[in-house]
Structure 1
Amino acid sequence: MSLATDLEIHKQGTALLDLCADVQARIPRAFRASMGYRISDECVEILVLIGRANAARQPQDRANHLEKLLERLQVAQILLRSAHAKRLIATKLWATSIELTDTIGKMANGWLKSARARVTSGPTSEGAVATPGSGTTATTSAEPQGYTPGLFDTTAAAPAA
């Protein structure tokens, strides 16, 4: 396991935080507390979640951190888009932020896909169910617990009366 600071996603996250510090400095004082600080806080939380995902030993824990990271990234994108729409930040600064958030999002989604694949393929995954009498395990589908496929599917045929 490498250090989180050596990962490319962390470097991009640090670049986003640096950019958001510039955004915060350029936002007018009236919006600085409500938008500027919030944008910076989201970027800091993104870096924290990158570190947590890198340090997680279990693929499910890693996936949970990456899902939270993607949610925080989306919040940062919304705040940056809103700041640009209100003309609080320049178009060039906003465009650079979008490039960085897209890059981070692609990397995080790839990492999440890999973590989820390890959860479903691992022998100790949550989907493994013991088959009585055989001593082997059968893997159930990777659907979330409590979800029945087709339960709310409107395209399925109606039951016969």
Structure 2
Amino acid sequence: VFQGFQIGSNIWLTQWSNDKEVETNTAKRDMYLGVYGAFGFAQVISYLFSSLALALGCIYCAKKLHEQLIDHVFRWPMETFDTTPIGRIVNRFSKDVDVLDNTLPMLWRMVLSTTFSVLATIVVISISTPIFLAVIVPIGFIYYFAQRFYVATSRQLMRLESVSR
């Protein structure tokens, strides 16, 4: 929704700058200014609600995952607590909770923001230059295969990092 309002404000600004009557007609200028301000206000409100929804969703997910983590730890056999130092268990637990509380919300925000920005950009370019659709398909395939290679490599690096701790 935020991207839609942002694109709308850019289109409106283009219309406003191309209108020659604005210099002499103050009513028209005020109308353009009011609509542009409304687009800005709508961007702020949509960003506020999306941030609120993301924060509440992250809190809910972190709570559920924390409960599941505690449930699994409580179900460990007793000899696990005898052989594994408590500091190691607490350290692992605190790192997982830190990732849930701090890293994942930031990553989700970046993923959602980037995804919608890319989609909005593709839509705008496709509307203004339809031949772009013929180019985006091969680029999409190249990106898909590069991404598959990257994910496999990244997963291996994560395993190596986890083992080295």
Q: Is the helix fraction higher in 1 or 2?
A: 2
User: Shared fold by TM > 0.5?
Assistant: no
Q: If the length of structure 2 is used for normalisation, what is the TM-score? A: 0.35
Q: If the length of structure 1 is used for normalisation, what is the TM-score? A: 0.36
Larger-Rg structure: 2
Q: Which has the higher contact order (CA 8 A, sep 6+)?
A: 2
